[in-house]
Structure 1
Amino acid sequence: MTARIAASVSLAALLVAAPALAQRDPAYAAARAAGQVGEQPDGYLGVVSGGADVRALVNAINIQRKAAYTRSAQAQGVAIDQFAFTTGCNLIQQTRAGEKYRTPDGSWQTRGAGAPTRDSRCV
């Protein structure tokens, strides 16, 4: 049962993440490239560095993510935080070399050529 939920949540998470990645605006792409924002295990974008403009950008994106997670979690019959966590696992896995992500210990890391350090609960 848990594997089935994880598989459906993983698939749904990828479907939610794909449009978000495809619709990056220039400010988001610039902040990501500059290492000012990064993916977090909870499925939300985090501020690594930067001022109020970066925080406002991250807040706006996270509002959109929460709405998408809510819709998808309800459709899948899973908890929103579970859906968001699984999406976070996938988004961290999808980071590219040079992009920032938050590790399970809470530190910000820059993705290298290898796999990112993810929470042990990530599938």
Structure 2
Amino acid sequence: MTLSDLRRSFARNLFGGMVACAMLAGPVAGTAHAQARDPAYDAARSAGKVGEKMDGYLGIVGQESAELRRVVNDINIKRRALYAQRAQAANATLQEYALTAGCLAILRTAPGEKYQAPDGSWQTRTSQPPMRDSRCPA
């Protein structure tokens, strides 16, 4: 088995464990989803001022304001806490879990929303699938 095969196997197993944990953590997921209902977040996302990053966190696209930084920091703190819980349950590192969560969040972006491409640039989602990092599970 090559190193590449081991990485793919690890990613599949990690992804499967994350899906299982997500299904078992319904009430926690509801709390995390509630953060997306913040009107300031919704407005910033719709305006392309924030986007999903490869590392699983929300990023500011372009110029930031104090209010926008507050909203993004608040969401990212909640995400980190959730990722830490779920990573432990999935026997993964926080970074591994966050990367996979970032891959999934980018896949869930809607046309017109911003996301971070593998090269670090901000892209606007079209009707086509987003560009994905090679480390993302298939």
TM-score (norm 1): 0.89
Of 100, 106, 116 in structure 2, the residue corresponding to residue 102 of structure 1 is 116
Listed as ranges, the gaps of 5+ residues in structure 1 are none
2:51 aligned to 11, 31, 38, which one?
A: 38
What letter corresponds to residue 51 of structure 2 in structure 1? G
Cα distance in structure 1, aligned partners of 2:13 and 2:122: 31
1:120 maps to what in 2?
A: 134
Counting aligned pairs with the same residue, the percent is 49
Tell me, yes or no, if the aligned pair for 1:8 and 1:76 is still in contact at 8 Å: yes
> Does the aligned pair in 2 maintain the 1:10–1:87 contact within 8 Å?
no
CA distance in 1, matches of 2:107, 2:44: 19
- 1:122 is displaced (CA, Å) by 0.9
Deviation at 1:6, TM superposition (A): 2.6
Q: CA deviation at 1:13?
A: 5.7
- Looking at structure 2, the residues matched to 13 and 89 of structure 1 have their Cα atoms a distance apart, in angstroms, of 15
Specify whether residues 40 and 13 from structure 1 end up closer, same or farther in structure 2 by C-alpha distance, changes over 3 A only.
farther
Kept after mapping to 1: 8 A contact 2:56/2:105:
yes
Q: List per-residue Cα deviations over 1:29-61 (Å, max 9, x = no partner).
A: 000001000000100000003311111110110
What TM-score, normalized to structure 2? 0.80
What are the residue-to-residue correspondences of 1:5-84 with 2, within 5 Å? 5-12=14-21, 19=30, 20-24=32-36, 25-49=38-62, 50-84=64-98
| Structure whose CA Rg is larger | 2
Q: Distance in 2 between matches of 1:43 and 1:74?
A: 16
**Structure 1 letter corresponding to 2:14:** I
Which consecutive unaligned segments of at least 5 residues does structure 2 have? 1-8
Coordinate RMSD, CA, aligned: 2.1
Higher alpha-carbon deviation: 21-30 or 66-75: 21-30
State the shift of 1:12 in Å.
3.8
